[in-house]
Chains A and B, each alone.
Chain A
Amino acid sequence: MHRRIHNMSDMAISSARAHVKHIHVERISKLILVSACVLIFVSGCNSPVAPGSANKEIPRLANGKPDLSGIWEATSAADYDLEPHSNRRDAPPGAGVIDGKIIPYLPAALEQKNKNFANRLTDDPALKGYTLGVPRGIYYPEPFQIFQRENDIFLVHQFGHSVRTIYTNNTDHPKDPYDWWLGDSRAKWEGDTLVVDVKHFNDKTWLDRAGNYHSDALHVIERWTYIDINTVEYQATVEDEKVFSRPWTLSVHLHRHREKDFQLIEDYRFTKDYEEFYPPKASEKP
């Protein structure tokens, strides 16, 4: 008990960060912000409308922004391998989802990737039920549900039931960030496209089950755009100067689940190792 009490002071220190109040704003930074808003507004007006888009018919929030609410899932083989690949015992074939087809690894990083690939049936973090990270959670073959309000968007992933928050309240990345499994997501609307800047990741997630990976320098820029009312084009530009020689972009389509009574079913599979021990059974004597 005494030991626990001593540790409480550590707890108090770590939570003390939360008491920092907001920052005094100088006039000049306000000017910059206003200018940036004007630029975004103008560029939004000039955004080209994707061919075949039905922009007037897509669902919208009360503020006019596209409403991405719904249960979505990619049907591509992206999670098996982002790059083009023939069929494998553990994967269907796939044409690849990357511009330029091949991920531009730095030489040392490519060696690591090849090791990951060789050990993929044991080393893939997803096998432990861990949060998939960004962008992998989006094209992993399980549904996720978007809950959207004007100022925030929650993505509830069936896998692990992990929740990612995308802030759309005109806030920036934290000044004293942690390294997060899902990074820190701040978004703006460019016309009808949601553009999300995601950074401050840890290095513990993979990009697919073929061992494609990243470091804690990962920076992802996502673009979410309705193609029609039941289809969203998802693009992610991936930067990581420790692992890749240049940024590259992947693209998948997300399809809205429309089956009758479809719903997410929680998938906390990391509890599988021990859940048999609960609850107590009347047949087992103390």
Chain B
Amino acid sequence: MCYKIVRRIILGIFLFSSWVDINAQEQVVPAAANSSAANPPAEGGGIAIEKVVLPIASSDWKGPRLADGQPNISGHWSNTIANHNNITDPQGGIPNDPNPRRSESGPRENRAPSRVTDPIDGKLPLLPWAQAKVLEFQKGFHNPTKPEYIEPLARCAPAGIPKSLYWHGYEISQYPGYVLFQFNSGTRIIHLDNKPHLHASIKLWNGDSRGHWEGNTLIVDVSNQNGKALLGRSGEFISENAQIEERYVFNEDGSRYNYVVKINDPEVYSRPFTMTIPAKRYTEKSQPNGWHFEVEPATHADADIRLDHYERICAENNGAFGITAAKK
């Protein structure tokens, strides 16, 4: 029994880098700028499902609400474009990969745009020292002679902010005063009651989050993050003093949202920058998917579909691939 889940998790940790390549024959979605066309027929396996980021404007929320007044967006969600392999060319393979993909990836415009939407050139405005560190990590990753060349996520550390939003699928649930995110690697509690942040001396992988709703948009102010979770396995990073503002902008029928995160970190970047991550909802009618929608059919006697999600455990099952790799 135990073997099954251990194998699954170890595979998950070590194979994530190959998913984009494996699923390179993703469906081609027409580049429509109209948000009402925000329902491309994207079901099925793999990570790199879509190639476009459809804009969703901040506006009123006309959809269903919970008893406490929050827009009801509870459910299973996942990003629609690749994973954390490459920030600026998400479907373009791994930067500085010593074993690059054998097939040509074609012209840049055939792949999804950069995660970076401001500045408009799609590049991360890293300071020179930070750019050098990123390059060092990308080269060191494939032959990790220093502990800092190991992506902390491979040790089961929380994926942090913003990477959790472009890793596996995740569940959002809502309660009076709270929005709860259960990621594949880590859990976030968003407080909606405007209580003060924790003291600045407390540093956390997922930070300390305060949110509020404005129409169709959940706006979250994040402080106290520890800067230890990388933005990607391509090594980009932020410092523990970065200011983060997140906007989760939901479309009219609640089937999609765009995660728009603005990061201001003068220690590492020459200017503030913004990343945009499109996400889609998975429902009982969706096919389970070993990456985006990791659910199992529940055992029960009625005709409707109910879903189980098994426990999200990583470090405990990661054995020699995680904890012990760091023992001194």
Contacts and interface: CB of A to CB of B under 8 A. Distances in A.
Contacts of B204: 265-266
15 contacts: A1-B21, A1-B99, A4-B18, A7-B15, A14-B290, A18-B297, A129-B315, A163-B187, A266-B158, A273-B327, A278-B152, A279-B227, A280-B133, A280-B237, A282-B267
Nearest to B101: A1
A273 B180 contact: no
Shortest beta-carbon contacts, A-B, top 8: A15-B290, A18-B288, A274-B326, A278-B228, A280-B133, A179-B1, A277-B148, A4-B18
Interface in B151-179: 152, 155-158, 173, 175, 178
Interface of B: 1-2, 4-5, 7-8, 11-12, 14-15, 17-18, 21-22, 45, 67, 99, 101-102, 129-130, 132-133, 135-137, 146-148, 150, 152, 155-158, 173, 175, 178, 180, 182, 186-187, 189, 191, 195-196, 198, 202, 204-206, 226-230, 237-240, 267, 287-290, 294-303, 305-306, 308-313, 315-316, 323, 325-328
Contact of B22 (A8, A128, A204, A275): A8
A202 B301 contact: no
Contacts of B147: 274, 277
Interface of A is mostly: loop
A147 B152 contact: no
The winner among A10, A69, A165 for most chain B CB atoms within 10 A is A165
Nearest to A267: B204
B172 to A, nearest CB: 12
Nearest to A17: B296
B205 A178 contact: no
Given A20-B297, A162-B313, A7 B189 contact: no
A236 B182 CA distance: 27
Nearest to B202: A265
A263 B67 contact: no
A286 interface: yes
B28 to A, nearest CB: 22
